[in-house]
Copies of this chain bind each other. A is one copy, B any other.
């Protein structure tokens, strides 16, 4: 065992920040891979590493299976090109915030088995890369990239700091979620001092909505129903609503969480239409209710506060089944706490 490395299962070596930095320090041609439906964390990692490695003279390319959304274009480093340099042949392939090779989508076939280094904070990471720098306690993957850059001796420029801050803010809901650690806040402080545009980043991540999103929120508020004495909330998103507002799938983020915010609501069921008779159920729960139990009875699964299932039938049919399961969870919880 080398310093900074421990042997893992299936040929995956666990490395720490120093180990990851050592790999990056020597690489002359680096390909950075982002996950599908890219967010501020995977892109923040990629853009920060792009700037830092390019400044050290390396050739760097970023591959994102779903491209580079306009929403995050403000994070792109100066001179960034979405296309690799002509004839680019990577010497080191690095996946950032990619918890599983399937999240590489159409890039999985070409690169899924050829990832040299993965920098990630997902506990579920199966260790698909040759070397893995994983810390599930990290609030964001950019928190880990910050450690790697420190080991590389990279000075934080304002644009680097903004990329790292964006991932940190996005993955902690701007320090509102339970993954907000003292370390996350201290890194935020350091990044602001290095010139990160914290306020502008939060404005772009949290405060701005497209006209379509606002129209969708309007429709969602109008479709919101409260059952079981206000303890159960039901929300329906039809394909017609999607077509009418023109929102994309990623603009629906967070809608399923709206009804759970309402005082007294213990379970929120969101039905999103995927086909004429196909629905995706998202269950969100507060307090002691188990969302995964609600969905398990419907053939799905998930976590205690957020779970899902795919249901076939008319809206009336799938609602009846899902609402019955949620009411059962409510009853069991009441009996257990009576």
Chain A interface (Cβ within 8 Å of chain B)? Answer: 173-178, 180-183, 185-186, 188-190, 192-193, 198-199, 202-203, 206-211, 214, 217-218, 221-222, 224, 226, 230, 261-264
Contacts and interface: CB of A to CB of B under 8 A. Distances in A.
Contacts of A221: 214, 217-218, 221-222
A174 B174 CA distance: 7
Contacts of A208: 261-263
B230 A224 contact: no
Contacts of A198: 175, 180
Nearest to A196: B182
A210 B263 contact: yes
Contacts of A222: 218, 221-222
Contacts of A176: 174, 199, 202-203, 206-207
B261 A211 contact: no
A304 to B, nearest CB: 15
B199 A262 contact: no
A236 to B, nearest CB: 14
Contacts of A177: 199, 202
A284 B128 CA distance: 50
A225 to B, nearest CB: 12
A263 B214 CA distance: 10
Given A208-B263, A211-B230, 9 more contacts: A173-B174, A175-B185, A175-B202, A177-B199, A214-B261, A214-B262, A218-B218, A218-B222, A218-B224
28 contacts: A174-B176, A175-B198, A176-B202, A176-B203, A176-B207, A177-B199, A180-B192, A180-B198, A181-B192, A182-B190, A182-B193, A185-B186, A185-B188, A185-B189, A186-B186, A186-B189, A208-B261, A208-B262, A208-B263, A209-B262, A211-B264, A214-B221, A214-B261, A214-B262, A218-B218, A218-B221, A221-B221, A221-B222
